[in-house]
Amino acid sequence: MSIIERVEVFDRRGSDRDVVDRRSLNRGLQTAWGLFDMRRYLNMEGNDRESLDKVNVTLANFLICYSDVVKSQMEVATRMVQEGFVDNTGQVLQFVDQTAPEVGDEEINLPGTVIVGIAGRIRAGKETAGEIIADLYNGMHFPFVDSLIAFSYALGRKPQESRAALREVNDIIKPRFGNATFAECTVRRAKRIARQKNPWVVSFDGFRSAEESQLIIDMGGKMVEVRASLETRYHRNLMDGKEMKQGQKQQSLDDFRRDDELEFRTMIGPAVALTNASFDNDSNDGVENLKRQIREYFDPLVYG
């Protein structure tokens, strides 16, 4: 099934008020984000008017129904801006108000901000490292998986899907729009939020291709790796229990190893190859060892 056929299926369900009404506010906003970004890529391609028209109709139907549920068009538009999902409220209002003018994208930069990409294997502690960096340096952290999930919702997929299911979405979107799609969308979101909050450091994780790492490098950013042993990472996976929460069978060590090797060989490895520093997160002293390594590396970058 093509991307647009999937969007068409979503439109038949997602533009129904009863369906929209059962969505949480955040999931609804993420769904709209995925549709807006899909629309932007189709606009950049410029050679598939039929698909672009379909996404525009779906986005309008969804936003109109969603605004009815929330009881305010401006509230939806404002939240979309606050969450960094669009550049300005006009980009939302043009789909829900026939009198609103058409609004394009804005050029947004990250002047004076230290940019960091955090790569590593499954459960190595990439998000933990990002949270430490954000806490230490008045920073903000953005996982690429949020964009992947937004596209997943836009394609009518269910929330809380397994890694395998999200890999399917990855394999649908990237061949069409490029290997850096989720990174580009997340970086754009980070820029929108950063201009509101002026962080010293902006970090990202979820690297699944060399192109994503190169995007950060081309922005003048630093690529770092977080490492931990297979056994440590598997134990973290068990402690998290995400599979059990989703009603799935808990992974065995062998299953985890196969997933880990598959993702490293096909996606994570090429991204890690472009890192120029690494942090060990295999210690028994909690995050203190990781925090010490982060300070040693980032203090000179941030404080000069």
d(CA 80, CA 30): 9
Q: Are 222 and 276 in contact (CB under 8 A)?
A: yes
Q: What letter does residue 206 receive in the DSSP assignment? A: -
Q: What is the pLDDT along the chain (304 residues), one digit of tens a residue?
A: 566 666 666 665 554 444 444 446 678 889 899 999 999 999 999 888 988 998 998 899 888 888 877 788 899 999 999 999 999 999 999 998 877 777 777 787 777 899 999 999 999 999 999 999 999 999 999 999 999 999 998 888 876 667 788 888 999 999 999 999 999 999 999 999 999 899 999 999 999 999 999 999 999 999 999 999 999 999 998 887 654 455 567 789 999 999 999 999 999 999 999 999 999 998 766 789 999 999 999 999 999 8
Q: Are 126 and 205 in contact (CB under 8 A)?
A: yes
Write the CB contacts of 294 (distance below 8 Å, at least 6 apart in sequence): 129, 132, 133, 136, 279
d(CA 15, CA 58): 7
d(CA 247, CA 245): 5
Q: Among 3.40.50.300, 3.30.930.10, 1.10.540.10, 3.40.50.2300, what is the CATH number of 114-303?
A: 3.40.50.300
Tokens of 50: 């039929």
According to DSSP, the β-strands at 114-119 and 222-227 are parallel
d(CA 185, CA 181): 6
Q: How many of the other CB atoms lie within 10 Å of CB of 43? A: 14
Q: Are 21 and 71 in contact (CB under 8 A)?
A: no
Sign of the CA dihedral 34, 35, 39, 40? negative
| Domain chopping of the chain, boundaries | 3-96, 114-303
Q: How many of the other CB atoms lie within 10 Å of CB of 222? A: 19
